[in-house]
Structure 1
Amino acid sequence: MGKSLVKHYFYQALEENPIIAAIKNMDDLELCCSLEEIRVVFVLFGDICTIRTIVKRLKDAGKIAIVHVDLIVGLSSKEIVVDFIKMSTEADGIISTKVPLIRRGNELNFITVQRCFLLDSMAYENLRQQQHQVKPDYIEVLPGIMPQVISKMCKVSKAPIIAGGLISEKESVMSALSAGAMAVSSTNHEVWKL
């Protein structure tokens, strides 16, 4: 499947259900695979020995699998990690805080999600300028419980915004979506069931 078709399917999946299951262990993997309404999964755990199996389980369950390459144990922070994920798994995309990895993901036709921790105005300004050079498909803003910041990011970002981090209740989800986020990612099982 070409990147434009995968990107379309990803976008459509988020429009139909803006909740992304962010999984951090095998129990989370099994639970999200059992929830039919969850279509997109962010993989936040694994190592070089298990990532293929984790992604395969998600794909077998009909999920879109996006691997946070910065969190996979045993992989470097060099661009070759993206090549490894492409050649060794069936992943649909990657998440990273590292600009070179997002660029390499784009080159390899992955869906790319640039994860950004907006801790102060300097981080906001860096992201605002960086997005034009890096061109991620999506930007994940953390923490996702800052509706004013999310709204501000949505106005300056060319990429759709995903709110993540500290999203643990319906009010947080609704607040982020009302502020303009396209979707929210959460490790909270109750949020997955909303």
Structure 2
Amino acid sequence: MKQEYYDIVEANPVIAAVKDQEGLETCCRLEEIQVVFILFGNICTISEIVRRVKEAGKMAVVHIDLIGGLGSKEIAVDFINSQTEADGIISTKPPMIERGRKLGMFTILRYFLIDSLALTNIRHPQHSTKPDMIEVLPGLMPEMIRRICKSTKTPIIAGGLIEDKDAVMAALSAGAIAVSTTNPGVWEL
């Protein structure tokens, strides 16, 4: 991982996850926000969305699985890398993360903690992919975050259902390096 990306996330532990144009405009106006997870768009609009984030002086990370018109093949990562100014990608698919790493992009592998098997897969992945960071959802489970942080050297981001300062503090106290949230009220903490 490029140290600069780690440093930016660590220094700015509240990450704006934007799911629409309104959220994009709001986060771009906020000086407190330095990292933006882009959770919307399509192949016709993603370049412009990323450009807007970069013009605001922020780090742009595209959740590649959520971009309309992109498939689940590694060529989608090549598209984001060559056709946008994105700093990195998020995906639930290890091959996408692996391709992003080969291209020198910042990578985040997203896991949904729905059962003990998901927890096992984080601790003992069945793939050789080494993402720069792992995002776990929902982020409202400090005990699970604590256990994951103890079992991996990969930095953890807590995401999903982070709605207030208490949730942010609980996730960070449990060992997460940052939290991601779509709630603009939390962006300004």
Q: Which TM class, normalised by the smaller chain length? A: over 0.9
CA RMSD in angstroms comes to: 1.1
Q: Which residue of 1 aligns with 2:5?
A: 10
Q: Deviations over 1:124-170 (max 9, x none)?
A: 11121228711000000000000000000001112100000000000
Q: Which residue of 2 aligns with 1:77?
A: 72
DSSP-derived class of the 2:135 partner? strand
Which of 69, 92, 95 aligns to 2:87? It is 92
Structure in which a larger fraction of residues adopt helix: 1
Question: 1:16: how far off?
Answer: 1.9
TM-score for the superposition, normalised by structure 1: 0.95
Aligned partners of 1:96 and 1:102 also within 8 Å: yes
Structure 1: tracts of 5 or more residues without a match: none
Q: Deviations over 1:89-117 (max 9, x none)?
A: 00000000001101101111100000000
Q: Which residue of 2 aligns with 1:20?
A: 15
2:16 maps to a residue whose letter is A
Q: Is structure 2 residue 167 aligned with structure 1 residue 172? A: yes
Q: Which residue of 2 aligns with 1:138?
A: 133
Separation in 2, partners of 1:122, 1:180: 21
Separation in 2, partners of 1:8, 1:22: 22
DSSP-derived class of the 2:136 partner? strand
Q: Which residue of 1 aligns with 2:145?
A: 150
Separation in 2, partners of 1:87, 1:105: 11
TM-score for the superposition, normalised by structure 2: 0.97
Aligned partners of 2:122 and 2:148 also within 8 Å: no
Separation in 2, partners of 1:36, 1:152: 33
Q: Deviations over 1:31-77 (max 9, x none)?
A: 10000110000000000000000000000110000000000000101
Q: Is structure 2 residue 68 aligned with structure 1 residue 36? A: no
Structure 2: tracts of 5 or more residues without a match: none
2:178 maps to a residue whose letter is A
Separation in 2, partners of 1:69, 1:127: 20
Percent identity over the alignment is 61
Q: How many residues align?
A: 189
